[in-house]
Every structure is written in C-alpha cells, then in structure tokens.
Amino acid sequence: MTSNRRSFLASSAAMAAFATLPTSTLAASKIKLGSVLDTSGIFDAYGKPMDMAMRLAVSEINASGGLNGQMIDISAYDTQSDMALYSQYGQKLVREDKVDVVHGGILSASREAIRQTMRKSKTLYFYNVLYEGGVCDRNIFINGVTPAQQVEALIPHAMGRSGKKVYILAADYNYGQITANWIRKYVADNGGEIVGLDFFPLDVADFGSTIAKIQKAAPDLVVAPLVGGAHLSFFRQWAAAGMKDKIPLASTTLGVGNEHKVLTAEEGNGIMVAYNYSQELDTPVNAAFKKKWADAYGDDTNYHEIAVSNYQGVMMWAEAVRQAGSVNRDDVIAALETGLSIEGPGGKITVDPKTHHATLDVHIMEFENQGMKVLETLPQRAPIDTQAVCDLQANPDDNTQYEIQI
C-alpha cells in the first residue's frame, strides 16, 4: 500500500471542499454512523479517499431527507495507520459515541482488531474492502471482492492472452498467501502450471534477484498479489529491466489504491486486473457518482476501488435502514438478509444471505495510459470461496474466520 502523497492526496480544491464536510454533521440528528480508518500514516492513500467517499454518501443521504426522516451524524476517527488505535477507537465508538453502525477497517488486521468489539456490543459492522475471504459472523457485512470472485475471472483471461506457465509473486501475509493458493487452483483448473512462487515481506523493495529468477524460469505470465508502496517497486524494476513487453503481468491488488496513476504509462500499460470498479466504467450510475464527487471535491479523481466500495457499503446500509424502517441492528440485518440489492458505481451489489458477503460485478481490465480500460464485465459473481465454509442461515451464531481449504 503506497503512501505517495503527490499522487494520492486530494488536490487543494478537493481538500477545501473536504473541510466543508465536518466530522460531526447535523448534531441534533438521531442516527449515528461511526467510521474508523487510516486517514493519515502509511495507509492514508487508501483511508483518506475511503473517508471522503463515506462523507459523500452521508451528505447525499442527508440532502435527500435522511433515513426515515432522520439525519445521519458522523463520528469518525483516524487511526494514523496504527493497529492499536483501531481497538481503542472501536471501543470509543460503541461505548461513548453509541453509534448505530460502524463502517471501517482496511487491512484484515484492522478488521479483526474491532470485529469482536462490534459483535459483543451488538453494533452492526460493515467492512468494505477486498480481502482474503472466510469471515463468518452475522454481525458483519462485507462488500469487497474475495479471491474466488476476482481470481476465477482474472486467471483464465490472463492465461488466454499469454500461456500456461505462471510465476507468482505474493505479499507474505494472510492475504498474499491465501490469494496465491487461489491462483494456483485456477491455473491448474485452466490447464496451466506454476513454475515459480515467491513471498515477500511488506518492506521488501529490491526485486533485482527475483527478476533474474523469473527470467531463468521463463514463464508465460507473472501474477503479482503484491501489496504496498515497497512492493510497487517491483513493477517499476520489471519495466526498467525491459521485461514488461516480454512477459505479461497480472495483479490482484495493483490499482485498488490508484497505484496505476503513480506508475508511468510506460511502466503500467498492459497490466491485467479484475475489480469491481474502474473510473472508466461507462454507466449512468458511475457518471452520476463522478459528478457528485467532482461537485464535492473539485476536479480531484483520487477515488479508487476501495473508496467506491466504502461508498457502496454506506448506501447498502442506508437502503436496509429504509426497508427496515429502523436502525435497530436486528431489523437492519433482517432487511439485508432478504438479499437486498443496490445499483452502485461498480454495478449491481447484492447481499448473499448465507455469508453476508456481496455478490457483485467483476470487470476484467488492463492499464492504459494510467487508466483502467474495461475489457469485459462478468455480472453478479457470487462469493463462492466463503460460501464453501460459511452458512449463517444454518449457523447464525458462527463467529469464525475460516482458512478456506483449496
């Protein structure tokens, strides 16, 4: 996750607009939404646009009359990219602020730092970020793509454009390890073979020896679930070594925080990805969202996959509150478990009642001139990985993050 401020922080015009959307709005309102995100520190490139997206959604809802005649009041905290502060602020949200819902967390570690607090306090929790899958908890709703939704779409496409021999480079923590397993599965399912697999701690930034290993292995395709600013160095070093036009690249992470805008076109063009959102999606809902963002924050375009996912998560919760006629946790959960759907900037999002994950559209894309060109849309991809281990309809008291066996 990169912290390149020049490319990711909002423009001065956007920040001026951002300042007009205060942490606590309409203080007399009765509905309280809590947010806890990394809006400073090493993950602010992710957290700041997520916070802006949350505020945009709340502003839009309040401008339309609120929810069931009540306005939404925001209580938001910046963890400064410190996992310990997630626990502290999570407890503050439920004990002192007494919020009705919490939207927050970026890394899986941040989610797990607050999930049990939300469950014990019976405070509804939304985690709106792509992750490794497997969380089974009736108190949480998850709106990001999981590996099976994404990798099942990306790998056949990438192999079809390259070949059967695949080399994997992955971040050395649960997301990278689990995603690498899914990549291996779908490579095998499509008649391919893995010719190399390397894991890297998040602070590794020198990939010279790795590139030499890849050259020796001579794969047809490199798939890179790498994470963070240090790992962004791989893509630059790969291009500098003259490899980008020799061996195609695909990634399950690059671009979710607008990293493709940090890479030059020469470094990024042609890299293949599959996500729920692209600024280049040509739909009326996305056009309307982009206009709302520009109106609120100027001409800034630093919103990205997980910012839009956060916006969609707030809108999904809001629709459930409308359907329930209440912010009562059990009533809202019951409304969501009907299989509620909304149309978001990334397409249709539907709650899977069995897992509380999202069934959503996945768009296969490639980087082109620092944008994400949409090549194909695969509608309504179910979270089949988590469905294999989680059934909250049969086991509503489950409280497990399963390690999905592949």
Read off the amino acid at residue 259. E
Residue where a domain terminates, one of 226, 254, 275: 275
Note whether 185 and 287 are same-domain residues.
no
Note whether 16 and 135 are same-domain residues.
yes
Note whether 26 and 84 are same-domain residues.
yes
Comparing CA positions, the residue from 366, 383, 321 lying closest to residue 68 is 321
Alpha carbon 283 to chain centroid distance?
20
Does residue 11 have a pLDDT over 50?
Answer: no
The answer to the question of residue 373 being in a domain is no
The answer to the question of residue 372 being in a domain is no
3-state secondary structure of 29: coil
In DSSP notation, 104-167 reads E-SSHHHHHHHHHHHHHHT-EEEE-S-----EEETTEEE-S--HHHHHHHHHHHHHHHS-SEEE
Note whether 271 and 294 are same-domain residues.
no
Neighbours of 389 (CB within 10 A): 18
In DSSP notation, 46-90 reads HHHHHHHHHHHHHHHHHHTT-BTTB-EEEEEEE-TT-HHHHHHHH
Q: What is the rounded distance in angstroms from the CA atom of residue 260 to the CA atom of residue 257?
A: 8
The answer to the question of residue 370 being in a domain is no
Query: What CATH number is given to the structural domain containing 59?
Result: 3.40.50.2300
What are the pLDDT digits (tens) for 110-148? 999 999 999 999 999 999 999 989 999 999 999 999 988
Q: What is the rounded distance in angstroms from the CA atom of residue 347 to the CA atom of residue 327?
A: 25
192 band by pLDDT with thresholds 50, 70 and 90: very high
Handedness of CA 156, 159, 165, 169 (dihedral sign): negative
pLDDT at 261: 87
Note whether 118 and 83 are same-domain residues.
yes
Note whether 66 and 120 are same-domain residues.
yes
405 band by pLDDT with thresholds 50, 70 and 90: confident
Q: What is the rounded distance in angstroms from the CA atom of residue 20 to the CA atom of residue 215?
A: 52
Q: What is the domain extent for residue 100?
A: 5-144+280-360+381-401
What are the pLDDT digits (tens) for 76-89? 999 999 999 999 99
Comparing CA positions, the residue from 390, 316, 371 lying closest to residue 146 is 390
What are the pLDDT digits (tens) for 14-61? 433 444 444 444 344 589 999 999 999 988 889 999 999 999 999 999
Note whether 107 and 159 are same-domain residues.
no
Residue where a domain terminates, one of 260, 275, 290: 275
269 band by pLDDT with thresholds 50, 70 and 90: very high
Note whether 167 and 151 are same-domain residues.
yes
Domain count of the chain? 2
The answer to the question of residue 81 being in a domain is yes
pLDDT at 258: 87
1 band by pLDDT with thresholds 50, 70 and 90: very low
3-state secondary structure of 230: coil
The answer to the question of residue 368 being in a domain is no
Q: What is the pTM of this model?
A: 0.88
The answer to the question of residue 376 being in a domain is no
pLDDT at 164: 96
Note whether 167 and 182 are same-domain residues.
yes
Asked whether the beta carbons of 321 and 68 are under 8 A apart, the reply is yes
Residue 405 burial (C-beta neighbours within 10 Å; 0-12, 13-18, 19+): exposed
Residue where a domain terminates, one of 275, 301, 332: 275
Q: What is the rounded distance in angstroms from the CA atom of residue 167 to the CA atom of residue 89?
A: 41
pLDDT at 248: 96
What are the pLDDT digits (tens) for 281-300? 999 999 999 999 999 999 77
Note whether 174 and 205 are same-domain residues.
yes
The answer to the question of residue 212 being in a domain is yes
Note whether 287 and 256 are same-domain residues.
no
Comparing CA positions, the residue from 250, 270, 200 lying closest to residue 229 is 200
Helices (H) and strands (E) in the chain, counts: 14, 16
Residue 345: phi, psi to the nearest 5? -60, -30
Note whether 176 and 116 are same-domain residues.
no
The answer to the question of residue 367 being in a domain is no
